[in-house]
């Protein structure tokens, strides 16, 4: 069931800096605790440099303990943040420790505690989707499923920003692999994307361990990823004609 306001009694307070990735703590379970803030900033800076504005609608695939959501939820207009996360306890602890119930009440994010987007029957008309360190744990069957669903829910000029691990051969298993990781050839990702009418582009945005890619609909404006590195200055130069100072 889709839920807007959650009740919970947190069991995992603190930053968990002495824990290992995968330990059952809201920060550690989703990756190295020392990188929690780094990943938040990395994703938020990327999506804003590619044009995110407060009126856009965004889905956070595998939103976990709201590592990115804690920045996106207050930034976006009411009702514009969607989070998909099968581990409900992670979202509960993220709200308790990072976001707060008052902000959830004000901003009205939507959470789906499923391993897919099956609860969303009608197109969400999304401007952006984010899948940070999701495809690095997915067999091709899951990647195909996610890309198919996101192609359905993205606007004609929308895009998914996702990370994956690159290798010269593809992982040949199925399903979810965690806390281990899997890797793919870029050509494989491009082929899967093309099958659901998404363009695939590797993008130059630093990540501690993985590679960023853009999976875009046909009408997406690629001018902000073409040529030199992505930057906030480049976005503002493009948008300044619409900015009122």
Report the pLDDT averaged over residues 206-229: 93
pLDDT band of residue 12 (cuts 50, 70, 90) is low
Cα 165 to chain centroid distance, Å, stands at 16
Can you give the pLDDT at residue 79? Answer: 98
Can you give the pLDDT at residue 209? Answer: 94
Q: Which percentage of the chain shows pLDDT scores above 90? A: 85
Are 3 and 85 in contact by the 8 Å Cβ rule? The answer is no
The candidate with the shortest Cα–Cα distance to 74, out of 52, 92, 54, 95, is 54
CA dihedral sign of residues 174, 177, 181, 186: positive
Token pair 């069991």 is found at: 11
Q: 186-196 pLDDT, tens per residue? A: 999 999 999 99
The candidate with the shortest Cα–Cα distance to 1, out of 91, 118, 132, 172, is 118
What string of H, E and C letters represents the secondary structure of 166-177? ECCCCCCCCCEC
C-alpha distances (whole Å) from 177 to each of 28, 90, 173 are 17, 18, 9
Phi, psi of 148 (to 5 degrees): -65, -45
Average pLDDT, the chain: 93
CA dihedral sign of residues 52, 63, 67, 130: negative
Residue 4 pLDDT greater than 70, yes or no = no
Can you give the pLDDT at residue 227? Answer: 78
Phi-psi region of 152 (alpha: psi -120 to 50; beta: other; left: phi over 0): alpha
**Rounded CA gap, 149 and 138, in Å?**
15
Residue 7 pLDDT greater than 70, yes or no = no
Can you give the pLDDT at residue 154? Answer: 98
Q: 61-78 pLDDT, tens per residue? A: 999 999 999 999 999 999
pLDDT band of residue 1 (cuts 50, 70, 90) is very low
The candidate with the shortest Cα–Cα distance to 81, out of 106, 111, 52, is 111
Residue 198 pLDDT greater than 70, yes or no = yes
Statement: the pTM of the whole predicted model exceeds 0.85 = yes
Q: 144-180 pLDDT, tens per residue? A: 999 999 999 999 999 999 999 999 999 999 999 998 9
Q: Which percentage of the chain shows pLDDT scores above 70? A: 93
Q: 47-62 pLDDT, tens per residue? A: 999 999 999 999 999 9
Domains of the chain with bracketed CATH: 36-236 (3.40.50.150)
Report the pLDDT averaged over residues 215-221: 97
In Å, the largest CA–CA distance within the chain is: 53
Extract the runs of DSSP E, i.e. beta strands, from the chain: 58-61, 81-84, 110-112, 126-131, 154-166, 183-184, 199-202, 211-216
Are 111 and 3 in contact by the 8 Å Cβ rule? The answer is yes
The number of beta carbons lying within 10 Å of the beta carbon of residue 198 is 24
The region of weakest confidence among 32-41, 118-127, 171-180, 225-234 is 225-234
Residue 13 pLDDT greater than 80, yes or no = no
pLDDT band of residue 3 (cuts 50, 70, 90) is very low
């Amino acid at each position: 069931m889709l839920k807007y306001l959650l009740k919970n009694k947190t069991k995992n307070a603190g930053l968990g800096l002495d824990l290992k990735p995968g330990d059952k703590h809201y920060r550690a379970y989703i990756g190295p605790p020392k990188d929690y803030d780094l990943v938040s900033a990395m994703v938020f800076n990327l999506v804003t440099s590619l044009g995110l504005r407060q009126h856009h609608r965004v889905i956070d695939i595998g939103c976990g303990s709201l590592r990115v959501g804690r920045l996106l939820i207050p930034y976006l207009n009411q009702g514009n943040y969607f989070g998909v996360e099968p581990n409900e306890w992670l979202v509960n602890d993220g709200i308790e420790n990072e976001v707060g119930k008052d902000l959830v009440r004000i901003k009205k994010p939507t959470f789906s505690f499923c391993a897919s987007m099956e609860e969303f029957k009608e197109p969400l008309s999304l401007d952006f989707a984010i899948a940070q360190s999701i495809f690095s744990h997915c067999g091709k069957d899951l990647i195909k499923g996610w890309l198919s669903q996101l192609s359905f829910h993205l606007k004609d000029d929308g895009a998914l920003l996702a990370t994956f691990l690159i290798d010269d051969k593809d992982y040949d298993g199925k399903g979810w692999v965690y806390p281990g990781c899997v890797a793919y050839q870029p050509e494989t990702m491009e082929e899967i994307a093309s099958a659901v009418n998404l363009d695939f582009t590797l993008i130059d945005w630093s990540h501690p361990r993985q590679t960023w890619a853009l999976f875009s609909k046909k009408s997406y404006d690629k001018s902000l990823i073409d040529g030199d590195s992505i930057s906030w200055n480049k976005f503002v130069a493009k948008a300044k004609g619409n900015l009122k100072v």
